[in-house]
A = this chain, B = another copy of it.
Amino acid sequence: MIPVRGLPEVREGDDLAELIAAAADLEDGDVVVVAHKVVSKAEGRVVRLAEVEPSAQARDLAADEDPRRLEVILRESARIVRTRPPLVIAETRHGFVCASAGVDASNAPEADTVVLLPEDPDASAARLRDRLRELTGADVAVIVSDSFGRAWRQGTTDVAIGCAGLRPLLDFHGERDAAGYELHATVIAVADELAGAAELVKGKLDGVPVAVVRGFDRRGEGTAREVVMPPERDLFR
């Protein structure tokens, strides 16, 4: 687990892969975990609250917080899952269920802005991966991460909202453990575990939005969209 230090503040239009390539010494097989916020900032997914007119619903949900922030959350939501004003748990257009539909005020470039999730985080990851290969020659995987809360447990863990260059779910169906017992219910969300592991060295306060995982035996290809539970199998919709 290697934190990538020395990245500058990311701005709209920046070539994020170039900034990462300059700050990290990447090798074939590395998994590069990038906090979505720097991806979103480079992609211009930042909203100025001064330009937002809150709806009546946003005012209802805001409690004592800024209703304009709630308005942005509502616009980013495909479905509201739970509310306890000003807390909103929503499903995003990507299918992710998370607090505030991924809209984040912390680490926003200015105090009156909020940062949205990337439009298509899997595509963002794929672009970063291709560009890193172009710049460094290294065949890396890329995970775009965000901090999600969980039902029934306190605190957030970082998970993969974008993925390129590795299979995010490892499926052991039909394989057998050391005792010969068939592992019939074992699918491991390795991309989420990699994102969480990277969070341990990235740190919220000291501005290290990228970490490299070296030595992980990554396999196959896949997207973070595959991790979303299909509605027909979802017991918690």
A residues at B contact (CB < 8 Å): 1, 9, 82, 84, 87, 89, 91, 96-97, 99, 105-111, 147, 150-159, 168-170, 172, 175-190, 192-194, 196-197, 199-200, 204-207, 216, 226-229, 234-236
Q: A106-B183, A178-B207 are in contact. Are A188 and B152 (CB under 8 A)?
A: no
Do A97 and B179 touch (CB < 8 A)?
no
Nearest Cβ on chain B to A176's Cβ, whole angstroms: 8
Cα distance A186–B100 in the bound complex, in angstroms: 13
Cα distance A207–B177 in the bound complex, in angstroms: 8
Q: A151-B150, A190-B200, A192-B157 are in contact. Are A181 and B236 (CB under 8 A)?
A: no
Do A178 and B206 touch (CB < 8 A)?
yes
Nearest Cβ on chain B to A133's Cβ, whole angstroms: 23
User: Could you say which residues of chain B place their CB within 8 Å of the CB of A152?
Assistant: 91, 96-97, 228-229, 234, 236
A-B contact list, 25 entries, CB within 8 Å: A82-B236, A87-B235, A89-B235, A99-B185, A106-B179, A107-B177, A109-B179, A110-B179, A111-B179, A150-B150, A150-B189, A151-B235, A152-B229, A153-B192, A153-B228, A154-B187, A154-B227, A154-B228, A155-B169, A155-B189, A156-B189, A172-B205, A183-B205, A193-B197, A197-B197
Nearest Cβ on chain B to A79's Cβ, whole angstroms: 11
Q: Which one, B150, B172, B204, contacts A177 given CB within 8 A?
A: B204
User: Could you say which residues of chain B place their CB within 8 Å of the CB of A157?
Assistant: 157, 188-189, 192-193, 196
Nearest Cβ on chain B to A103's Cβ, whole angstroms: 12
